[in-house]
């Protein structure tokens, strides 16, 4: 199947008992057994282990990312946590230096105390990356594009190195979505999504996902999920599955609107730098052209003045864009990373990687582009 067909039909089946086109919401915690240890359906005993609605979502996730196993979690951080539970004291993890604040907080404030050593680096410096690899290196974790600076990493080149050294390679594909980028096809072992964002697409659910190619790895991660309990409920699974069915249409419009917003901002006298992988001036534009089929709806920018006060005034004056955390919904959102999504990252670390106090991040929605540009124009004025 082509992708536009996969999001609707991939891994999906009509309900066998009723013929329902959409999977029912199996709002149940447990399932009948005919004799001890003999459930009516061998796949379903207790909903923490498996639930038919969640299974339908997980099959769809595997399909759209070209994986063999999908797992649905109660949040993106729960999905990340499941991967981290594979490692022990003394193990080392190499991660991108520009990460979602919650991921950075988990790595540095939860798992660092467990004895796992983290290295945060620019993943485009492949010589530096190679120099950090040793017998204790167990995982490489990247976001591409990153949150909020839109940095990219060359998935294929990193995958060659991880495979040579027998290291697991995980990619947070939240910003790109499988419509624009397929990390497993490029050599990654694990794909993570905050399904709260583009996969759900309607700002009405918190969810996470992992997708893998290797069946044994999928079974290991499922056991860790089952044993720790961070599963997605049936109603939330239904909502994400419903969102996936329009993913291709929504992301097309996000890309179209994103490009128009970028063009406007890039020519505005009060805007200093626009961070968007579709711009030829973007330092990683060639990587974006190589591994992405479009550039998405996430845009960040700074002000010529460099003043935090100008960023705050701009955000307070928006009318169509909503000032709120999160991203990837049908509505356009605006965010101040230093005060909102990345506040958990120490100030000196933010400055080191380029998250300045005048940085604004936009999640460009699917409204009429002319209205979005008019809103940006009046807020900048």
- The DSSP bridge partners found for residue 168 are 139
All domains in the chain, ordered by first residue: 3-243 (3.40.640.10), 249-380 (3.90.1150.10)
Rg (CA), the chain: 21
Candidate list 48, 105, 117, 160, residue with the active-site label? 48
Which tokens hold the place of 36? 């001890």
**pLDDT for 200:** 98
Does 100 participate in catalysis according to the annotation?
yes
* Cα–Cα distance measured from residue 133 to residue 136, given in angstroms and rounded to the nearest whole number: 8
**pLDDT for 113:** 87
DSSP H or E stretch at residue 92: strand 92-96
* Cα–Cα distance measured from residue 313 to residue 247, given in angstroms and rounded to the nearest whole number: 33
* Cα–Cα distance measured from residue 123 to residue 178, given in angstroms and rounded to the nearest whole number: 21
Give the tens place of pLDDT for each residue, 190-216.
999 999 999 999 999 999 999 999 999
Candidate list 151, 197, 213, 361, residue with the active-site label? 197
**pLDDT for 95:** 98
> What are the helix and strand counts (H, E) for the chain?
14, 14
**pLDDT for 16:** 86
Does 253 participate in catalysis according to the annotation?
no
Does 105 participate in catalysis according to the annotation?
no
Q: How many other CB atoms are there within 10 angstroms of residue 11's CB atom? A: 17
pTM of the model: 0.96
Which tokens hold the place of 91? 């193990």
DSSP H or E stretch at residue 186: none
* Cα–Cα distance measured from residue 70 to residue 86, given in angstroms and rounded to the nearest whole number: 17
- The DSSP bridge partners found for residue 28 are none
**pLDDT for 119:** 97
CA dihedral 243, 301, 381, 314 (to 10 degrees): 70
Asked if residue 76 has a cis previous peptide bond (ω within 30° of 0), the answer is no
On whether the CB atoms of residues 304 and 271 are closer than 8 A, the answer is yes
Written as tens digits, the pLDDT of the chain (381 aa) is 999 999 999 999 999 889 999 999 999 999 999 999 999 999 999 999 999 999 999 999 999 999 999 999 999 999 999 999 999 999 999 999 999 999 999 999 999 889 999 999 999 999 999 999 999 999 999 999 999 999 999 999 999 999 999 999 999 999 999 999 999 999 999 999 999 999 999 999 999 999 999 999 999 999 999 999 999 999 999 999 999 999 999 999 999 999 999 999 999 999 999 999 999 999 999 999 999 999 999 999 999 999 999 999 999 999 999 999 999 999 999 999 999 989 888 899 899 999 999 999 999 999 999 999 999 999 999
Candidate list 44, 100, 104, 276, residue with the active-site label? 100
Within 8 A by CB and 6+ apart from 289, the residues are none
Candidate list 81, 154, 172, 375, residue with the active-site label? 172
* Cα–Cα distance measured from residue 276 to residue 301, given in angstroms and rounded to the nearest whole number: 9
On whether the CB atoms of residues 224 and 86 are closer than 8 A, the answer is yes
Which tokens hold the place of 251? 């992301």
């Amino acid at each position: 199947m082509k992708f536009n067909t996969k999001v609707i039909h991939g891994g999906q089946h009509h309900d066998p008992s009723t013929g329902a086109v959409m999977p029912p919401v199996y709002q149940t915690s447990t399932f009948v057994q005919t004799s001890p240890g003999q459930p009516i359906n061998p796949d379903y005993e207790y909903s923490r282990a498996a639930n038919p609605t969640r299974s339908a979502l997980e099959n769809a996730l595997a399909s759209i990312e070209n994986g063999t196993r999908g797992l649905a979690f109660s949040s993106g951080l729960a999905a990340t946590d499941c991967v981290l539970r594979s490692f022990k004291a003394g193990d080392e993890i190499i991660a991108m230096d520009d990460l979602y604040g919650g991921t950075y907080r988990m790595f540095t404030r939860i798992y660092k105390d467990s004895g796992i050593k983290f290295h945060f680096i620019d993943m485009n410096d492949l010589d530096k990356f190679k120099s950090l690899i040793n017998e204790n290196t167990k995982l490489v974790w990247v976001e591409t594009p990153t949150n909020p600076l839109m940095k990219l990493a060359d998935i294929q080149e990193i995958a060659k190195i991880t495979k040579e050294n027998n290291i697991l390679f995980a990619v947070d594909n939240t910003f790109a979505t499988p419509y624009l980028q397929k990390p497993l096809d490029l050599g990654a072992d694990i794909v993570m999504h905050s399904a709260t964002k583009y996969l759900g697409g309607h700002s009405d659910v918190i969810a996470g996902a992992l997708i893998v190619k290797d069946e044994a790895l999928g079974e290991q991660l499922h056991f860790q999920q089952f044993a720790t309990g961070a599963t997605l409920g049936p109603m939330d699974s239904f909502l994400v599955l419903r969102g996936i069915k329009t993913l291709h249409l929504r992301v097309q419009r996000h890309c179209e609107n994103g490009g128009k917003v970028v063009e406007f901002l890039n020519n505005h006298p009060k805007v200093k730098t626009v961070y968007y992988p579709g711009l030829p001036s973007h330092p990683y534009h060639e990587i974006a052209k190589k591994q992405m089929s479009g550039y998405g709806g996430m845009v960040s920018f700074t002000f010529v003045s460099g003043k935090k006060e100008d960023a705050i005034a701009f955000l307070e004056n928006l009318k169509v864009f909503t000032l709120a955390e999160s991203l990837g919904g049908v509505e356009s959102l605006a965010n101040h990373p230093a005060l909102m999504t990345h506040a958990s990252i120490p100030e000196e670390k933010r400055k080191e990687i380029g998250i300045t106090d005048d940085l604004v991040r936009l999640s460009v929605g699917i409204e009429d582009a002319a209205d979005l540009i008019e809103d940006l124009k009046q807020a900048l004025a």
